[in-house]
Amino acid sequence: MKLPAFKSLAIVSAILLSTSACAQPTPTNSSSQNLQTASKVITSVSSTVDAHLRKVLTEVGIKTQIVAITPSKLPNMYQIDLVGQPPLHLTADGKYVIQGELQKNPSKRLVNTIPVRSNSTQTGKPISAATKNSMLANMSALKNMSAKTPFFYTAVPGVIWGATLEGVPFLISDDGQYVTDGEISVIDKGQFTGLDDNFEKLKNQSVFSSLDQAQLITYPATSAEKAVIYVATDVNCPYCRLLHKQMQSLNKKGVTVKTIGYPIYEQSPNQMRGIWCQADDSSRRLALDKAMLTGKMTPAPASCSTDYVSPNREKAAGLAVIATPAIYRDDGVLFQASFESPEFLEFLGVD
């Protein structure tokens, strides 16, 4: 097995500093029973767990020497130190794995109680208000963290997935003490199967359900509806404009398109506010069509001082968009190829 490439970005530094996102215009199961019920920090490694984790790593092709297996600072995980590589963090059953160095949160710890931990039915759902409040209380030095920061339960109780409002994802312990820019991947039947797609789907569904549907510019299917997609778009993104040219064709094929205003270019927030400020759904669609198809922007009426774009844009940070247009089916699956390829219609389930 080839280990996933380790990102060199220091996530704590990224969170400490104010950043601005700029997407590139090119192509981003439940736990076992012992994980579901776990509520205590692991303090030792039994010989049984040690042997099992070594066996799992051998089966997936890890030949690098294992220096040590110790309790991880991430709840319900064990740290495997490897010669010359970043450590791995595995659950006791060997199913969920994270690769990456953990960084200590420099904030003063104000809340010492361990939050009530999630079970498998909560995977991909937003964390509770109580857990979020206690985490934020312990993250005061991380300037980009706020009540708007999206946090979701992962399949590993005590390990929380979060993203900055710029959409930079990270993992953090539910006490807010340790953070990494690694991702949770899955080992199944002796093979590394990639990121935890089940979590991604459920998380994205949670994001969609949180969006203000009235502030999505929706292009309904003009024939029997066969698919619904969400598209994070920017009016100045060249590839977003190319996709928009297919709008009528998609609608005729039975595809309803729900557009999330996702400005990434410097001039886009004000321009998109003008579009979203139009009086009704039809006027918004016409203004967006004009911007996408001709490059002409519609200014906001003098009577509109409201920013209708930012609230959904902030909620959509939970999608961790790495490029626009980001296209998702309503079941939460991200399309990861070119929308100009035949695979796009296959992805949508239309002819």
pLDDT digits (tens, 9 = 90+) for 25-66: 433 333 333 343 344 567 789 999 999 999 999 999 999 999
pLDDT of residue 13: 64
pLDDT of residue 33: 38
Considering the entire predicted model, what is its pTM? 0.88
Confidence band for 16, pLDDT divided at 50, 70 and 90: low
pLDDT digits (tens, 9 = 90+) for 95-154: 999 999 999 999 999 999 988 999 889 999 999 999 999 999 999 998 889 999 999 999
Cα four-point dihedral sign 91, 336, 345, 286: positive
Q: Which of 216, 224, 204 is nearest to 275 (CA)?
A: 216
**What angle (nearest 5°) sits at the alpha carbon of residue 63, between those of residues 154 and 57?**
35
pLDDT of residue 15: 66
- Residues in CB range of 309: below 8 A, 6 or more apart: 215, 261, 263, 269, 272, 273, 276
pLDDT of residue 125: 98
If DSSP codes are grouped into helix, strand and coil, which group holds residue 80?
Answer: strand
